[in-house]
Structure 1
Amino acid sequence: MQFKAMAAIVNEIVLVPRDDRYTWSLEGNGEFLVSSLRKVLDGNRFQEKSLSTRWVKSVPIKVNIMAWKVKSNALPTRFNLSRRGIDIDSIDCPICKMGAETTCHLFFQCSVARQIMRKIASWWNVEFMEVNSYEEWRSWIVSTRIHSRSKGIIEGIYYGLWWSMWNFRNKILFDSKTPEKALIFDNLVSSSFYWFKYRCKASFKWDDWLKNPYIVCC
């Protein structure tokens, strides 16, 4: 009787002649999109529309993810680790040792981070302003009086700065050889040159990038 009942149910099933596949329920067509997932994450984490995730296509995915972690305070900084009950030797910033290593301090308030931010502003010939958080930095970017395309490029460079600062911090903590602070800005300029050269439509050379980075926006 059970077999007959099961056969009756199976007989009503109509199978489509194609391979099995996953479907994404957040989109009507069933296809997975990064943007749809990003909207869900933003909706849960950020209530204000102004704090929605910004994706800069001109920089690598890993750098964009890093920027998202900076904004959402999702990095395992010393302060965040201690808040979760993990026993660590110190919560001081390993770079400047002038404050607790929070996300805001490491990427915006640390003296080394501010020195490099000042160099970026000088390189791009924009007015430098000290900021203490992602929100303040974002307001500064929006208020900067330059072309919208240039803002996107500068935003990507700051994403690269956060990536560089985090790597520099990890080398201080985990590498046997102490890294050089002076190379952070130089490596950022070099890395960003290749990011934008192969992801932007404008054609430019290394000297152009050093002397007039606005050429990328042409």
Structure 2
Amino acid sequence: MYNLCSVSDRLRIFNGGLRFVPDWKKGISTVEEISEMQDVLFLLRDASISDCKDTWFWGEEAKGTYSVALMKSMIREEEEVRRDFCMRWESWIPIKVNIFVWRTEMDRIPTRMALSRRRLNVGDSSCTLCGIGDEEVMHLFTGCVFSFGVWSIVGQWCNIIPIMAFDFKDLLRIHESVTGGKWAKKVIRGIVMVTCWAIWKSRNDKVFRGTTPKVAEVVAMVKSCSFLWLKNRTKFANIVWKDWVKNPLYML
């Protein structure tokens, strides 16, 4: 989108609401681009426009104009924040899943509470999947009743009973308790990341498509996607589906 365009060039009123009208040389095509477009449309869902002159703002508080001094101040604040991330990139799962988990650990995915903190009107802030508790990263992946059902079945499948996680970082450390060699830990770490992605995908399907998520369907997605990715992106090209669905570490 061009910097010189006005808001009215890209946002049109249609049926009482706003419609985003992009002017791109190339349309969106990848999964990542489609996902980001869905996030944009969700953010614009409750937006409104006025007849005031368009103004560009900069910074997290959206006040004032850009200056080098403000940028230096922001950099210093970021440097003072202690970085203690657990996420490690896993080679056998797609980049889109790695990026999603990376963003999730930093609380940079558009949960309802995250959008509310940005002063966006999301209406009901309760969890999309269970309706109990505010929808934030910690609840969505470790406190949600629906997610608990998914983790319980995945844990049984991976012979990790029970999966104890009180924070998102706990999920990213599950592989550390797995006995076995390097690949046993890599497989479990990847499955955990795929499970997080599948839970988020089911959440988005309910928000944007109105579907009713089911625990069994999310688990099935975890098993099928992780099987295909491991089979086609690692040395385990000979793994067999009927054995995989019983134990993902059977070949080790």
The TM-score, its normalising length taken from structure 1, stands at 0.72
Q: Deviations over 1:142-179 (max 9, x none)?
A: 23334332111111111111111111111111114434
Q: Deviations over 1:84-122 (max 9, x none)?
A: 111111110011011000001111111111111111111
8 Å Cα contact 2:129-2:213 kept in structure 1: no
What does residue 151 of structure 2 align with? 117
The residue type paired with residue 102 of structure 1 is: E
The residue type paired with residue 214 of structure 1 is: L
Runs of 4+ deviating beyond 4 Å? 43-46
Whose Rg is larger? 1
Alpha-carbon distance, 1:46 to partner: 7.2
Q: Deviations over 1:4-63 (max 9, x none)?
A: xxxxxxxxxxxxxxxxxxxxxxxxxxxxxxxxxxxxxxx969734x62541101111101
Does the alignment pair 1:189 with 2:189? Answer: no
Q: Hey, what's the Cα distance between the residues in 2 that align with 1:172 and 1:52?
A: 29
Q: 2:190 aligns with which of 145, 156, 161?
A: 156
Distance 1:105 1:62, change over 3 A: same
Matching of residues 6-17 of structure 1 within 5 Å: none
Q: Deviations over 1:53-92 (max 9, x none)?
A: 4110111110111110111110010001111111111110
What does residue 205 of structure 2 align with? 171
The residue type paired with residue 47 of structure 1 is: R
What does residue 206 of structure 1 align with? 241
Does the alignment pair 1:78 with 2:112? Answer: yes
Gaps of 5+ in 1: 1-42
Distance 1:82 1:123, change over 3 A: same
Q: 1:97 aligns with which of 131, 149, 156?
A: 131
Percent identity of equivalent pairs:
30
8 Å Cα contact 1:46-1:52 kept in structure 2: no
Alpha-carbon distance, 1:141 to partner: 3.0
Q: Hey, what's the Cα distance between the residues in 1 that align with 2:80 and 2:109?
A: 15
RMSD: 2.1
The residue type paired with residue 163 of structure 1 is: W
Q: Hey, what's the Cα distance between the residues in 2 that align with 1:45 and 1:55?
A: 25
Q: Hey, what's the Cα distance between the residues in 1 that align with 2:247 and 2:209?
A: 36
The residue type paired with residue 109 of structure 1 is: G
Q: Whose relative contact order is higher, 1 or 2, with alpha carbons under 8 Å and at least 6 apart?
A: 1
Going by fraction, where is helix more abundant, 1 or 2? 1
Q: Hey, what's the Cα distance between the residues in 1 that align with 2:81 and 2:178?
A: 24
Distance 1:138 1:174, change over 3 A: closer
What does residue 101 of structure 2 align with? 67
Alpha-carbon distance, 1:186 to partner: 0.9
Matching of residues 23-62 of structure 1 within 5 Å: 47-48=82-83, 51=85, 53-62=87-96
8 Å Cα contact 2:206-2:213 kept in structure 1: yes
8 Å Cα contact 2:172-2:192 kept in structure 1: no
How many residues matched? 174
Gaps of 5+ in 2: 1-77
Q: Hey, what's the Cα distance between the residues in 1 that align with 2:139 and 2:80?
A: 21
